[in-house]
Amino acid sequence: MISIQSNAFTLPYTFFREPPEKVIPELKQYGFSGINLALNYHSSRDLLLRQGPQLEYLADGFHYYKSNYQMYSGDALKPDLRDQSPSNDLIDSVILVAKTNDFQVNAWAVYLHNSAIGMAHPETVVTNVFGNRFLSELCPANPQVAGYALGMTRDLCNLGIAGIRAESLHFHGARHGEHHERFFIELSQVSEFLFALCFCDHCKKNYQAEHSELGNLVQSVKSKLTHVFEDRDPWIGKKLSKELLAEIIGPNILDYLLTREKSVSNLYRKIKDITQELEVSFTFVDQAPLLDLDSANASQNSWQVGIDNSQIKQFVDRFAPLIYRRQSDQVVALTNDYLKNTANEINAILRPTFPDCTTFENLAAKVKNLVGLGVSEIDFYLLDTMRKRDLDNIRQVLN
């Protein structure tokens, strides 16, 4: 019988409302072996339920600890004083109680989805072919952004955490960046991808270091999108693929995509060097399954955000894909995809609440199937939004 290790993704509000002396023993009773605590997170409005119904707002790009600027290189972006906690009292108390209870604390960090830094430093964000800036998305090819990611990694590792759960450590798509987005136009997957493709100075410079011709690529992307926005989108209903992009834009776009994958992989390599030296585990929270909620081969979509799984797997201790699917057979198919194409062992992340799970039987079948596939690490998202019924279901399936 496989022994399941299970962490709960947790917002800091858990410990704003109740002390760790109460929270951590309670979570152990539900079967959790640790938490992935949001120590760097984007803005959100959340209906919290576990400690009583409460509507709460998380500040954008906030660091829920006191940043140590000595962990950052001189030219790196650094969190503003207003975007961090005044002290480390919260995280210190959580880690202290966790140690006395044999309970793991991992830092859940949303690296490059950060409007606070993006608005303060617009020159460092993803910039499309029209010069439009995506202020919520920092560009991983930018050296200052890379410096921020490395500095934050060092800082987190020195807080006493066991591991890092890295989210949004890559490029992003066109949507889900701001609170209230207006896209009153039907766009194909192709158009959305091209609209959010970064052509900032650093991305272009990296490409030109190995390929002399850039003007034709830029002009092709711009002209195709201009037609979409002035007339119609000819790719509605077509599935986004590298082959289709090469057919539409030209083969040089494949080299451009490869260049940005190298930028992301290089950043992962540097982060891995830090975590390995400081003996902290480094887990990649993989959001590729959300790019197409009907896909059973989500790992094949990772290139859309600049991730080359064959490279990334060399620099992470675990892949942790978001296995957000409603049916247990979908969970099996998606898990098999990751076991086959990324790593022999993964950390599966389930959502034990609506819309994925509405019954105990549904959750139990998913966990049973994961265990049957040899998955021994199953994390659950999101503790603060769970009802007591959801936690009781988790306790039953873990036992």
Give 320-330 pLDDT, tens digit per residue.
999 999 999 99
Taking the CA atoms of the chain, what radius of gyration do you get in angstroms? 21
Q: Closest by alpha carbon to 346, among 371, 382, 381?
A: 371
Q: Rounded to 5 degrees, what are φ and ψ at 286?
A: -90, 115
Coil, strand or helix at 298 = helix
Residue 308 and residue 261 in contact, taking contact as beta carbons nearer than 8 Å: yes
Residue 285 and residue 322 in contact, taking contact as beta carbons nearer than 8 Å: yes
Judge whether residue 206 has pLDDT over 70. Answer: yes
Could you tell me if residue 237 is inside a domain? Answer: no
Distance CA 297, CA 288 (A): 10
Query: pLDDT-based confidence at 344, cuts 50/70/90?
Result: confident
Taking the CB of residue 330, how many other CB atoms lie within 10 A of it? Answer: 19
Judge whether residue 1 has pLDDT over 70. Answer: no
Could you tell me if residue 295 is inside a domain? Answer: yes
Could you tell me if residue 188 is inside a domain? Answer: no
Give 128-142 pLDDT, tens digit per residue.
999 999 999 999 999
Give 333-343 pLDDT, tens digit per residue.
999 999 999 98
Q: The tokens of 1 are what?
A: 């019988």
* Helical segments of 48-169, H only: 89-100, 115-120, 143-157
Q: Which domain holds residue 123?
A: 7-183+264-398
Question: CA dist 235 to 194, 247, 293, 344, Å?
Answer: 12, 12, 20, 36
Q: Compute the C-alpha angle 157/272/83, nearest 5°.
A: 45
pLDDT for the residue 175: 75
- Specify the CATH number for the domain of residue 179: 3.20.20.80
Could you tell me if residue 152 is inside a domain? Answer: yes
Residue 127 and residue 200 in contact, taking contact as beta carbons nearer than 8 Å: yes
Distance CA 270, CA 267 (A): 5
Least confident of 30-39, 103-112, 206-215, 360-369: 206-215
* Helical segments of the chain, H only: 13-17, 20-29, 89-100, 115-120, 143-157, 189-196, 201-208, 215-230, 242-249, 252-277, 309-312, 328-341, 360-372, 388-398
Strand-pair partners of 138:
125
Query: pLDDT-based confidence at 183, cuts 50/70/90?
Result: confident
Our count of domains for the chain comes to: 1
Q: The tokens of 227 are what?
A: 């037609």
Strand-pair partners of 378:
348
Percent of all residues in the chain with a pLDDT value above 90, rounded to a whole number: 93
Taking the CB of residue 183, how many other CB atoms lie within 10 A of it? Answer: 10
Distance CA 41, CA 112 (A): 10
Could you tell me if residue 343 is inside a domain? Answer: yes
Q: Rounded to 5 degrees, what are φ and ψ at 164?
A: -115, 130
> Region 188-207: what's the mean pLDDT?
97
Q: Closest by alpha carbon to 323, among 290, 281, 282, 358?
A: 290
Give 265-305 pLDDT, tens digit per residue.
999 999 999 999 999 999 999 999 999 999 999 999 999 99
Mean pLDDT score of the chain, rounded to an integer? 95
Could you tell me if residue 257 is inside a domain? Answer: no
Could you tell me if residue 207 is inside a domain? Answer: no
Question: Per-residue DSSP letters for 328-389?
Answer: HHHHHHHHHHHHHHT-SSBEEEE--STTT--SHHHHHHHHHHHHHTT--EEEES-GGG--HH
Q: The tokens of 19 are what?
A: 């002390």
Could you tell me if residue 2 is inside a domain? Answer: no
Query: pLDDT-based confidence at 174, cuts 50/70/90?
Result: confident
Give 12-64 pLDDT, tens digit per residue.
999 999 999 999 999 999 999 999 999 999 988 899 999 999 999 988 999 99
